Structure 1
Amino acid sequence: MEFRIAVAGASGHIGHEVLNVLCEHEVPFSDVTALASSASKGMEVSYGEDDLLKVHGLEAFDFKGTDVVFFATDAKTAAKYAPKATAAGCTVIDLSGQFHMEPGVPLVVPEVNGDSLADYQKKHIVANPRAVSILLALCLKPLHEAAVIKRVVVATYQAASAQGKAGMDELFRQTRGVYVNESPADSKEVYPKQVAFNVIPQIDNFQDDGSTREEWALAAEIRKIVSPDIAVQATCCTVPVFIGYGMAVTIETENPLSDKQARDLLRQAPGLSVVDHRVEEGYVTPAEVPGEDPVFVSRIRRDPTVENGLAFWCAGDNLRKGAALNAVQIALTLRDEYID
């Protein structure tokens, strides 16, 4: 079956990556429409290396006759237009975060909980998790199935592209400014502190318990995607990297699991690539992952401070598997298994 699809937010980084993935993976859609705000109407966006798509205005778009709409927009825009799309008979794949925790909306990483797509017809909306949750869930799933994870402690190191073009521009301006003796504070608009040559232990607003919303959301999404019984303690940081996330993860399991067993399980799991050599350069860093589909797992080792503890490092492209590729995989699963 060939779908007619639309990508809302096509002029942004994630929308552009959705179009790239659709083209690179030769997804057999019969028609692709690029949508964006009226400010971008009429411009052209790339679809693969050779083709260009003209951008249509989202505000006036008639969703009737479109099968799947990717919302790679901000949450406010998705809240306004996604209901119009579903009312016209479309299925919405939301990358904005607007519907992540809404009851009746499946939150899906296809390799982890693809069976939850069976519930998509309740609202005809499927939520794409935030990038950090996708990358972590892929790593946790095979270990949880083998040994039952009780607790996760994770520190995340998230790229400036998490804040879109504005975040990347601020990192660039501040980095350049340091070399010409400008104060980074003079260009501080997106981040609460200097991001160039720094690590910021705050993503989103603080909650009453001292955690940030990103940390709360990561814990909530892991419980929704992998298991409601997993306790998650997260510290989420922004680092001066343009694209690519890294995570230092420690897990505690109910049943024993050796580092060798964990390594074998992770090697066999879909969506993962294990690069774990205990030598210099025997691991993968965020600088190496842009454009790569898998999540890379390295430095798998026993945690001797708890009875059944393991530690590992993982890295992945937050714009690709952390957003666009996961959303396209959702669309393909819907097409193949659920939509007539």
Structure 2
Amino acid sequence: MVDRFSVAKDPGGAAPAGGDALKSSTGYRIGIVNPLTLVGNEIKTILRDRSFPFAKVSLLDSTGKAAGALTEVDEEPAVVAAVSDDELEDLDLVFFCGPPSGNREWIDHYRDDRFVVIDVSQPSTIESGKLAVAGINLDAITGKDTLLISPHPVAIPIALILHQIQMLSAIELCTATVVQPASEFEQVGVEELAQQAISVLNVRSVTKEVFDRQLAFNLYPALERNEEFIVEQIRALTEPDAQFALLITQGTIFHAHTFSLFTKTRDDLSVDQIVSRLRENPAIVLPEGDQSFGTTDAAGKDEVLVAEVRRDPTIRGGFWVWAVCDNLRRSSALNAVLVAEKVLFGNSKVM
């Protein structure tokens, strides 16, 4: 497989991150392309909650459908504008969310208009950007990095888990089954699932505008097959020589991905070794005492919740990891904001 993605690596004596290209003395000028998407809206929320020192946040639309829409920024009214050169050249950093098809032509303006790109659109169409994940490789990101990709929300939790495990032993194989939520299809997907559930309970025909069949109380193979793309990102972030296999199932849940991973390492590791290493990453949480995790527990959480680590008694070096992660927070919006903080301020925060 050709490796499309590069990963930020330790630059040694590279210049520290900072606001060398700051366009305004009053503070950072930030753009969010397609802010009415679930991830775009979550980025707005996280910027506010983290007291991000912005002088301005521009809300831009690349779909041709949301320009003129009224929303808010930092609890103040704001209007979405159509993305343009005039808008972009005034910004220091731009988050690109939503459909990649409308974003690519504007991402290509980053050199001429001198702004940092953080691409959160999925699947990313950028071929020369660096994958960046808080908890894996933020230390290698500097202020000189101007084209950055926040990986697919399925790739980030898997890569975080494997990153910790490979500190103990080389990973030889990993297979993953992932159940994806309706929110991967934006708010219309969430609303259609809710409508379908009500219709099924009332023995009525179900609406099938977003999903091609009944999703409520059902499971089936995911409609959008991005497994190869996601595996390529995981491989770039973890162990390039390992064997990876991934299957995504469409789940009857509103938010959060559910992961069942089988991993085989070169050495025979104990559960205690693995759990101890996972706990060392602030982006990962394991249950304490009688605590237990399920898919609904992940909603609104900023960590990957690892519910169980279990050895496979039939395969040497083999074990299972069951985990959940909010698909809008840690594996999307929060990661993008943490990457932005590293580029602009030099912070390598994981939380």
Shift of 1:316: 0.9
Give % identity. Answer: 26
Whether the 8 Å CA contact 2:98–2:122 is kept in 1: the answer is no
Shift of 1:250: 1.2
Shift of 1:321: 1.0
Shift of 1:163: 1.3
Deviation per CA, 1:300-326, whole angstroms, max 9, x where unpaired? Answer: 111112111121111111011121001
**2:130 aligned partner:** 106
**2:116 aligned partner:** 91
Shift of 1:25: 1.1
**2:298 aligned partner:** 289
Whether the 8 Å CA contact 1:249–1:311 is kept in 2: the answer is yes
**2:87 aligned partner:** 62
Distance in 1 of aligned mates of 2:73 and 2:313 = 50
Out of 236, 253, 269, the position equivalent to 1:241 is 253
Distance of aligned partners of 1:150 and 1:158 in 2 relative to their CA distance in 1, 3 Å threshold: same
Shift of 1:61: 4.6
Whether the 8 Å CA contact 1:203–1:214 is kept in 2: the answer is no
**1:193 aligned partner:** 213
Stretch moving more, 190-199 or 16-25: 190-199
Out of 177, 186, 192, the position equivalent to 2:199 is 177
Deviation per CA, 1:57-78, whole angstroms, max 9, x where unpaired? Answer: 2247521131100011211111
**1:259 aligned partner:** 271
Distance of aligned partners of 1:45 and 1:85 in 2 relative to their CA distance in 1, 3 Å threshold: farther
Q: Runs of 5+ in structure 2 lacking a partner? A: 1-18, 20-26
Shift of 1:252: 0.3
Distance in 2 of aligned mates of 1:74 and 1:266 = 33
Out of 128, 141, 146, the position equivalent to 2:168 is 146
Whether the 8 Å CA contact 1:92–1:126 is kept in 2: the answer is yes
Distance in 2 of aligned mates of 1:245 and 1:171 = 16
Shift of 1:126: 0.8
Shift of 1:238: 1.2
Out of 1, 15, 19, the position equivalent to 2:40 is 15
Deviation per CA, 1:73-110, whole angstroms, max 9, x where unpaired? Answer: 211111121112442111111111354661x3111212
Distance of aligned partners of 1:178 and 1:275 in 2 relative to their CA distance in 1, 3 Å threshold: same
**1:25 aligned partner:** 50
Whether the 8 Å CA contact 1:38–1:58 is kept in 2: the answer is no
Distance in 1 of aligned mates of 2:288 and 2:229 = 29
Corresponding residue pairs, total: 321
Whether the 8 Å CA contact 1:106–1:119 is kept in 2: the answer is no
Distance in 2 of aligned mates of 1:83 and 1:120 = 17
More helix by share: 1
Whether the 8 Å CA contact 2:34–2:40 is kept in 1: the answer is yes
Distance of aligned partners of 1:129 and 1:142 in 2 relative to their CA distance in 1, 3 Å threshold: same
Stretch moving more, 297-306 or 163-172: 163-172
Whether the 8 Å CA contact 2:143–2:346 is kept in 1: the answer is no
Shift of 1:120: 6.4
In the alignment, structure 1 residue 35 sits paired with structure 2 residue 60: yes
Distance of aligned partners of 1:276 and 1:132 in 2 relative to their CA distance in 1, 3 Å threshold: farther
Whether the 8 Å CA contact 1:244–1:317 is kept in 2: the answer is yes
Distance in 1 of aligned mates of 2:321 and 2:113 = 45
Whether the 8 Å CA contact 1:244–1:290 is kept in 2: the answer is yes
Out of 137, 140, 158, the position equivalent to 1:136 is 158
Q: Which secondary structure state, in structure 2, belongs to the residue aligned with residue 251 of structure 1? A: strand
In the alignment, structure 1 residue 45 sits paired with structure 2 residue 71: yes
Structure 1 runs, 4 residues or longer, greater than 6 Å off: none
Amino acid at match of 1:147: S
Distance in 1 of aligned mates of 2:257 and 2:187 = 16
Q: Runs of 5+ in structure 1 lacking a partner? A: 205-212
Amino acid at match of 1:47: V
Whether the 8 Å CA contact 1:41–1:57 is kept in 2: the answer is yes
Distance in 2 of aligned mates of 1:284 and 1:174 = 26
Whether the 8 Å CA contact 2:294–2:307 is kept in 1: the answer is no
Distance in 2 of aligned mates of 1:203 and 1:120 = 38
Q: Which secondary structure state, in structure 2, belongs to the residue aligned with residue 14 of structure 1? A: helix
Using structure 1 for the length normalisation, give the TM-score. Answer: 0.88
Greater RCO (CA < 8 Å, at least 6 residues apart): 2
Distance in 2 of aligned mates of 1:188 and 1:142 = 41
Shift of 1:261: 0.9
Whether the 8 Å CA contact 1:159–1:243 is kept in 2: the answer is yes
Distance in 1 of aligned mates of 2:218 and 2:306 = 25
Using structure 2 for the length normalisation, give the TM-score. Answer: 0.85
Distance of aligned partners of 1:276 and 1:133 in 2 relative to their CA distance in 1, 3 Å threshold: farther
Out of 310, 329, 333, the position equivalent to 1:320 is 329
Deviation per CA, 1:143-194, whole angstroms, max 9, x where unpaired? Answer: 012111111111111111111123222212211211232223xx22333432
Whether the 8 Å CA contact 1:276–1:299 is kept in 2: the answer is no
Shift of 1:258: 0.6
